Structure 1
């Protein structure tokens, strides 16, 4: 089999897959977002994960938003988002849409691999029937094959890039193992092979549920310490001297994985009449943190005699975590947006978003507005914002919401 890969969805997950495979195969990259394709053809990555030089390996002719262009592919890797809707239920529409598109160009014997996060049973219970209905092929007769390899992309993390991490992949049909390994050995440091789709789907969601719950525990302890006026930083340092203490910190939990995966797991549990008592416990605490910090900021400003409805206040760091441009489920931006509704003098400051949200944020090097502000509230500690704590005239205005000893910085 002459393998001709095609990556469907070129966001945070799909783009690194495409870049790595393009070094070994004539790989197509497909996305329904026309602007995304046109940007990539110009070697521009709007997510700011890759520089122009990194994208030169991509051949313009293989980047497309036209389904007809990928008809000759025979190895499809689906990397589309799987969010939740307003009711916190799984929204599989992007995934189902991708399945429909692939089904229209599918040929007998083709392989389809899913990287999108799903709840157990989705690949075989939802994706396969969609492909069968449109293509006319039968999965049970080996007309086409599916595998599942959950993405482990961590935006902004240069240490755990695709080629430096282990990757799991479920290959139900043993006859495809060598073909799949030939492709996927280019996408990881080490491949862990499974033959079970549901086990592999489950492993993905619990990776992120575990982290969500651990952060929630620290957030709850942080809230406890704050209310009792106990120094959380000192408590954390003391506790971490024990050999088996796991080092998690409190914070705002955003992005695409942690705020989403627990709801996928609880959804399938509910469908099977299984009561989950712990899975969503982390969600309630982590979602409450935004309200807690809004109240904390209000109290701080009141103590400093700063009027959040009138005075110039700058909120620094608006993406969902440090050193990335990703705005998905950003709690920091929601905090900024809350205060901005009361006051036109409330400004945002984020080096990663100047081109994305010009009307809402100032240039992070705008010294005049920084000096004119009464307070700079630090929500996300981007490296590019380190200057705020180094310049004495700005340091005295700085308030880091997750630091307890504010007297050392805000006088």
Structure 2
């Protein structure tokens, strides 16, 4: 990232702060006779000053520790609350101007796809710890950006059309915004973007085999109607109980955002961190998949049964290992994106639900079989000539940074 680009993003960041915090101060002062202004205004002022601090260019070495703590604090606060500040601005403009409220809402939802870019560069880029970078990526940044449009519409005085609410609930716009913000952020950290083209050194037959396995699993996972080993491959139900745009976009969102997070960002950071270790690729693949699995524990808070969540954690970890080896060997991030999206889209449309139900005994058995298959495939690609292809691809990507 050139100094000119960083300076431009810094100015964007400051302008965004001034507009959003200015509108918030005005709303506090005018709402209900300003009764909340003394306390709320003071809190907003403190936050605003701390939010301005990362953009200050003068040398502040004596405050190094406090400043770095503030990077984490501001990352959490701004990636979480920026949509609310923007919603407040839209609500204020809709009351004071001739502009159409629905048009303002549409502009606000679109702007949120890029609004986090200056925040990422000014506030999050200075974080140097690999653990810290991964931690903020999989928590505040992912949840904040992907759910930004949904958070934006949380204010009761914004009356959005139902189609806007549907799109915001799916998180698809947030997923695209996440791709943009994290792509710029990793470039700021000195890391290159993911590869899109297939690796020429990879054997075509093995890449086709990975595609076949991923496709077959997607179909079996969604449409198998058997309740035992004797019927699971012979009884099928191809009915789509909820073939709606909402289900399609809801399944597409993790295929984009989660793959961009775990197979690109987290995996790249781990490969960079372990670049001088003998088992660089092994550490990166197994850790990234493990983090991907553990992240699904949050589904408990969405009302999903604990046993179903444990099953999902195990499945997600093994799927993460499979998709990581698929990406590193094939060389294209599109492949795990498509497979992941297909798994989620088909399963959501077939079941009519976005959450899992309590698993029975046979489902636990199938999870065990899935673990064996996916772990076996991962080990296969992390050994022998396949590993050499992966190592060459990794070395090429890291050397380009």
TM-score between the two structures when normalised by the length of structure 2? 0.23
TM-score between the two structures when normalised by the length of structure 1? 0.23
Greater percentage in strand: 1
Of structures 1 and 2, the one scoring higher in RCO (CA 8 A, sep 6+) is 2
Greater percentage in helix: 2
